[in-house]
Amino acid sequence: MGEQQPEPYTDNGYHLDIEQDYETVYKFGWRPDPFGEGTIPVGTCSSMCTYEELEERERQNRLSKFEMIPNTNPPKGDSKLAMKEYKRSAAGREFTVAMNLRPWSVLKRSLRHLLLDICLRDDDWMYISGFVFDRLKAIRQDMIIQRIEGSRCVEILEGSVRFLVYSMFRLTCTTRDYIHDRIDKAKLSPEGMPVSGLDNYEMNVVREMKLTMQCLRDCLHSLIVQYQDYVPDSPNRFIFEAINIIVNLPQLLGHQYISTCLMSKQELRDSNPMFKTIFRMRREHFIGNHYGALKHLPNLREYPLIILAYASIIPLLQINMITRFKKVYSARGSSKTHPDHLCKLICPPWLDSNYDERLIFTVYLAVQLGIFDHESLMIDFSFRNNVIQSKIEQYQLEKLAEQIESDNETRIYALQMIAARNWQFFDETLKVYGVESVLDPSQQQQ
């Protein structure tokens, strides 16, 4: 006879304690369901990946290089580095077996390994992002099956949001370098219609951006629900509430953030200077004054996660500003302006101290949007210089048109990637505070 399971009920009934250490209290792989007569599984797997899964993926040659023992042929999995992959629910597949579920302590160790080891490697970011994205989904899946809520759930979700924000920055701003493109050759028009087409790698980046942003919004939604219901005094709440506002600005695909008490009560907004600044910037964005909103961004430099969240959406804000300038210049009766004037508005000096870099980028962006007149070297908002220059470009045009014909979101993400740039401001912020300060799930901001 082994040790008996602790009695879940008392004379006063079962008391639900979401912060209870299920792993220590319930050692037999289950705990009582407080809302019914059933049971809830409690994970007993002490490694980041079960032995059965590791053996199966090793046999099928499905191991990532991050999970292999170096210099082995055929590849052998490292039981200390292998991590459980995400699996969709299917008929006959059992997800509630305790020995296949990782308890909270192992989930936390897995999270830290992904964020503070894998994400800091020098490999191609598309490969790193795909691996971490999948393994984080598996962590959240184990957490949901075991109904882990409260501060432990918040830590997992905050870690996921940290990765997704950083990944969106890397995908948007660092996977391409606009300076390597021909400055006189456009890719897309302002409406997102293809001009010369994107190569396969660029289209993969666009798809990854789309999946990452969708997952980011979903994780933020779940995180804010946890804040509201269980952890209202979390020290990081203001940071992630602010990120929720940033990635759901009305200008970005029409998404609306969920209303919370932090947004509806003036006294709570005023209790945190950073959140008050973000809310002020949100009002400026709402009326279309993106220039006035972004001028506050340098004041938030001590919050690198906020800076990176903004970094990935600045390209869309710049394009939105140009669209508004078109209306202004049409009302004035004059459609032309000097690139220097547009540069001061969409690329303020705090983005990059190098004026030539900012001016070159302004001209580049004008070319991408078809509003640069090469003869007069002026910005002409009524100009459309989208000319297909060869049969190869005609083929690329037709191929891309098929891919994004019915997908407006993909066109917007393609524009976002093309207009993105790793500005000096973002680069220096990461150098000062370090990538670890962005990704560390235990980081607390008072």
Tell me, yes or no, whether 182 and 132 share the same domain: no
Tell me, yes or no, whether 113 and 153 share the same domain: no
Tell me, yes or no, whether 50 and 66 share the same domain: yes
Q: Which of these, 35, 54, 61, 43, lies nearest to 100 by C-alpha position?
A: 43
pLDDT of res. 375: 80
Instruction: Tell me which H or E stretch contains 395.
Output: helix 391-404
**Domain end among 146, 173, 199:** 146
Distance CA 403, CA 413 (A): 13
Instruction: Look at residue 230 and tell me if it is in a domain.
Output: yes
Distance CA 119, CA 415 (A): 26
Tell me, yes or no, whether 12 and 68 share the same domain: yes
Buried b (16+ CB within 10 A) or exposed e, 314-338: bbbbbbbbbeebbeebeeeeebebe
Instruction: Look at residue 445 and tell me if it is in a domain.
Output: no
Buried b (16+ CB within 10 A) or exposed e, 65-97: ebbbeeeeeebebeeebbbbbeeeeeeeeeeee
β-bridge partners, 68: 77
pLDDT of res. 14: 47
**Domain end among 146, 171, 189:** 146
Q: Which of these, 170, 166, 106, lies nearest to 138 by C-alpha position?
A: 106
Instruction: Look at residue 162 and tell me if it is in a domain.
Output: yes
- Structural domain including 106 reads 1-146
Tell me, yes or no, whether 235 and 190 share the same domain: yes
SS3 content of the chain, % helix, strand, coil (to 5): 55, 5, 40
H-assigned helices in 26-150: 51-59, 104-116, 125-145
Tell me, yes or no, whether 180 and 139 share the same domain: no
Distance CA 306, CA 246 (A): 8
Q: CB-hemisphere CA count at 13 Å for 283?
A: 6
pLDDT of res. 252: 56
CB 389 within 8 A of CB 337: no
Tell me, yes or no, whether 180 and 141 share the same domain: no
Tell me, yes or no, whether 66 and 95 share the same domain: yes
Tell me, yes or no, whether 167 and 92 share the same domain: no
Q: How many structural domains are present in the chain?
A: 2
| This model's pTM is above 0.75 | yes
Distance CA 438, CA 441 (A): 8
pLDDT of res. 350: 93
Quick check: bond before 194 cis, omega within 30?
no
Tell me, yes or no, whether 217 and 359 share the same domain: yes
Sheet containing 372-373: order of strands: 336-337, 378-380, 372-373
CB 326 within 8 A of CB 381: yes
H-assigned helices in 189-334: 200-229, 237-247, 261-264, 266-270, 273-286, 290-294, 304-311, 314-332
Residue type at 77 in one-letter notation: G
Instruction: Look at residue 213 and tell me if it is in a domain.
Output: yes
Tell me, yes or no, whether 129 and 162 share the same domain: no
Segments of the chain with pLDDT less than 70: 1-17, 90-92, 175-198, 250-268, 330-334, 383-408, 445-446
Q: Which of these, 156, 123, 166, 308, lies nearest to 226 by C-alpha position?
A: 156
pLDDT of res. 268: 60
Instruction: Look at residue 314 and tell me if it is in a domain.
Output: yes
Q: Is 380 helix (H, G, I), strand (E, B) or coil?
A: strand
- Cα angle, residue 400 at apex, residues 398 and 405 outer, rounded to 5°: 90
- Residue 445, token pair as written in the block: 């901001």
Instruction: Look at residue 446 and tell me if it is in a domain.
Output: no
Residue identified by tokens 């407080």 is 34
**Domain end among 80, 114, 146:** 146
Tell me, yes or no, whether 246 and 223 share the same domain: yes
Instruction: Look at residue 118 and tell me if it is in a domain.
Output: yes
